[in-house]
Amino acid sequence: GVLAMVQRKAKRVIWLAASADALPASKDVCGKGIIHRSLAKEMDSMFTALFGYYEPLVNVKGLGDMLGLTDTDIGQFLQNDQIFNRVDMPKVLCDLAKLREAGQATVSTRTLEVQENPWWGIAGGWDVEFTVVYNDRFGKFVDQLPSDTKAAVNGHYFLDYELRRFPNYLTCFENLWDATALTNSQVNLLSAQAEHMVHAAADLFKRALGP
């Protein structure tokens, strides 16, 4: 993960953030110094924890909500994960939110200063090129889908309910008949969008993976 790469002092990091939580609207994050607590609580906790926005009393979605557990209770310990400055999170989210609203692939790169993290043995004071591939709706990809698939993604067909949350599926209990699995249709559509995102953001990937 991100922490392991930063531990090794990688200068460029690519993070594939496959989240059940959609990005916030650009109006809620662009130009902000910090993210309001109420908004941060609605976002992906693994993402927000990297920037120091973590509250251990927030229940994890899915099974945690049903059993009254927190993510600390199930062994994630996200309160120890901050490696970036809190003021940098609105900038990263602003980039991603604007891309989503323009129908573009939600892939962006920012140079961020690493903060000291004694828990993970990470020394601060150096920069990393942080590329985030955030799993959110890619409008130009959806526009190219067959009409029936597009209608299902947009929630028009009751019988195709399995695509109603695309692409922000839960990791547990997305499908009640199989607690930890996605259907073929769900996986295939996710993989197709991911492929299109990589092609659309090819220049960023070439930079991140280049010499």
What digits encode the pLDDT tens for the residues 100-154?
999 999 999 999 999 999 999 999 999 999 999 999 999 999 999 999 899 888 8
**Which domain range does residue 183 map to?**
141-196
Which pLDDT value is given to residue 152?
87
For the entire predicted model, the pTM comes to 0.86
Query: Measuring CA to CA, which residue among 132, 130, 149 is closest to residue 190?
Result: 149
Domain identity same for 17 and 40: yes
Which pLDDT value is given to residue 59?
46
Domain identity same for 125 and 55: yes
Query: Measuring CA to CA, which residue among 208, 169, 211 is closest to residue 187?
Result: 169
Query: Measuring CA to CA, which residue among 2, 16, 7, 12 is closest to residue 191?
Result: 16
Domain identity same for 79 and 54: yes
**If you average pLDDT over residues 3-8, what whole number do you get?**
95
Domain identity same for 72 and 150: no
Query: Measuring CA to CA, which residue among 132, 134, 114, 109 is closest to residue 8?
Result: 114
Would the pLDDT of 75 be above 60?
A: no
Domain identity same for 105 and 176: no
**Residue 127 resides in a domain:** yes
Domain identity same for 152 and 106: no
The pair phi, psi for residue 18, each rounded to 5°, is -90, 95
Give 24's DSSP letter: P
Which pLDDT value is given to residue 56?
59
Number of domains present in the structure of the chain: 2
pLDDT classification of 58: cutoffs 50, 70, 90: very low
Asked if 88 and 51 touch (Cβ cutoff 8 Å), the reply is yes
Q: Are strands 107-113 and 127-134 parallel, antiparallel or unpaired?
A: antiparallel
**Residue 204 resides in a domain:** no
Would the pLDDT of 15 be above 60?
A: yes
Which pLDDT value is given to residue 40?
86
Domain identity same for 102 and 167: no
Domain identity same for 177 and 80: no
**What single letter denotes the amino acid at residue 54?**
Y
Domain identity same for 63 and 131: yes
Tokens coding 110: 């920012």
Which pLDDT value is given to residue 9?
94
